[in-house]
A and B are shown apart, each in its own frame.
Chain A
Amino acid sequence: MCKWILAAGAAALAIATPALAQKEGKGGGGKPDKAADGNQSGVGKQADPKHDGGHAAHAKGADKSRGDKDSRLASRSNGNDHAKIKANDGSDRKRDDNDNRFDKKDRDDFDGRRDARDDDDRRFGRFGDCPPGLAKKDNDCMPPGQLKKVGSVLPAAFASRTLQGALGQWFRDDDRFTYRNDGDYVFRVNRTDGLINALFPMLDRNFSYYPVGMNYPSAFDQYNVPSQFQSFYPDGGNFDYRYGDGAIYQVNPSTNAIQSIVALLAGDLGVGQQLPSSYSAYNVPLAYRDRYYDTPDATYRYNDGYIYRADPKTQLITAVIDAII
């Protein structure tokens, strides 16, 4: 993503802001860790069925009992050989390219149109004025290989690719939809027919926001606000709300222009992951500190609407214990 940032602004900033201009290399630090079954924790608010853009059942069906959540711990495996718990080594917010990625053949088979450019060229936008995550190929900035995916059957190769970590918490399977991914994109899939209903980029955590004024990518123009924010940011009013790479955007429904960034999401914590070393400072909101304070037996940290509990000894995040927004 920083490559895209550079492409957009390096000329202007190379002299004035050396620190910014020096950013380069592969972006996307801190993608959610992939070891835990992200669907294991079910705390959340229900969507407003008036404004959910077809998501009411999605959010509604996602609520599960707290006991259920607490009993589901990190050691669950989703059968993904690539899945692993990231080491708490101080590099926990850097993207691990090998995490949760498919073998090249799997992806080639699905795309059927992979060219010589590598994923990161496309993912982090070196092409023209397309937004991050997209590449320009005279196709309205549609992501390469994605044009035919919406409406197509989810390939069997991705059937077991459930969302992990924070993304699994935000986008939970329900009676209507399941969520799968290919390492770069989230696919929302109709349960009834197995067709891909929507797609959008996975969390990319390296200051990779769509700037205000840019059009929200039409390829992702479906209501895709994470479940915990749906009651705050529904469609159906004067504006639409869309998620993308760590932020929720207010979008003009007529022009698709991004009007505002209404929420920022860290996406750093997930059940089954190690608590990142960068979360050594207690950060629970004031109103909840009388209930969730660190003890020798429990560490509590806040992230993106949820309070998580971790084991102080192992630093393993064991549960989502409260949804506070």
Chain B
Amino acid sequence: MIKPWIFGCVAALALTACGKQGEPTATTDTAAEKAGDKTLATGLGDNAKLAAAVKAAGLEATLAGPGPYTLLAPGDAAFSNLPAGTLDTLMKPESRAELTALLTHHILPGTVLAADIGKAIDAGKGKAMIATIGGGTLTATREGDKIVLADAKGTKAVVVTADQNRSNGVLHQVDSVLMPTE
């Protein structure tokens, strides 16, 4: 007799591999094995709006994959601080390209710890440029003992909780949403 849970897993395969307790996983077994157990995708529990945005953009598998990436994770309050209606608009299917662009402005190639950014700031005499995976650049500075990242428009995101290590990268909690611009 086929177990009921098998049906659930088969359904889940429509989008992703069958993961633990509904957690997002990489799309293939080999990618999931390489990514490890506690990935960036599974570590977004306290970032509900970011998690929803990642899912809407179809980026869950990326954050559950081998990586490694550095994720700048705006908290729910950061999304709430966007102009009224912004997130709702971005979450619409027709806005997926913009949503993907916004999210990839918060992903850095490789594992960049706060100390690494700090050293780069020091080496750069108070400022460091940081590449995002999407092709943009952030400007890193220090404000007191905090690392601050700014987008091209000057919006600043303070790293409020740094260096949350994941099996496929590292996550920094930030307090603002950064916008991708040329």
Contact = CB atoms under 8 A, between A and B. Distances in A.
Contacts of B133: 246, 264-266
Contact of B58 (A9, A231, A258): A258
Interface stretch (B1-9, B44-52, B73-81, B112-120): B112-120
B137 to A, nearest CB: 5
Contacts, number: 206
A196 to B, nearest CB: 28
Nearest to B13: A238
B31 A232 contact: yes
B101 A209 contact: yes
B164 interface: no
Interface residues of B, number: 73
B85 interface: yes
Interface string A84-95: 000000100110
B172 interface: no
B44 to A, nearest CB: 16
A30 B97 contact: no
A23 B102 CA distance: 12
Contacts of A208: 135
A17 interface: yes
Given A24-B182, A281-B128, 12 more contacts: A9-B97, A17-B90, A19-B153, A27-B182, A30-B135, A206-B135, A209-B104, A211-B96, A232-B28, A232-B66, A264-B134, A282-B112
Contact of B92 (A12, A30, A209): A12
Nearest to B108: A283
Interface of A: 2, 4-5, 8-9, 12-13, 15-20, 22-25, 27, 29-30, 90, 93-94, 205-209, 211-213, 231-234, 237-239, 246, 250, 258-266, 268, 276-286, 301-304, 325
Interface of B: 13, 15-16, 26-28, 30-31, 34, 57-62, 65-66, 68-70, 82-86, 88-90, 92-102, 104-105, 107-112, 116-117, 119-120, 123-124, 128-131, 133-137, 140, 151, 153, 155, 165, 169-170, 179-182
Nearest to A231: B30
A213 B136 CA distance: 24
Contacts of A90: 129
B113 to A, nearest CB: 8
A303 to B, nearest CB: 6
Q: Which applies to chain A's interface (DSSP): helix, strand, loop or mixed?
A: loop
B90 A233 contact: no
Among A211, A237, A286, which residue has the most Cβ atoms of chain B within 10 A?
A211
Contacts of A234: 28
Given A93-B131, A285-B110, A16 B86 contact: yes
A284 B179 contact: no
A51 to B, nearest CB: 10
A283 B110 contact: yes
A262 B109 contact: no
A206 B69 contact: no
Nearest to A233: B28
A280 B124 contact: yes
Contacts of B28: 232-234, 237
B134 to A, nearest CB: 4
Contact of A250 (B30, B61, B179, B180): B61
Contact of B110 (A15, A209, A284): A284
Contacts of A325: 34, 66
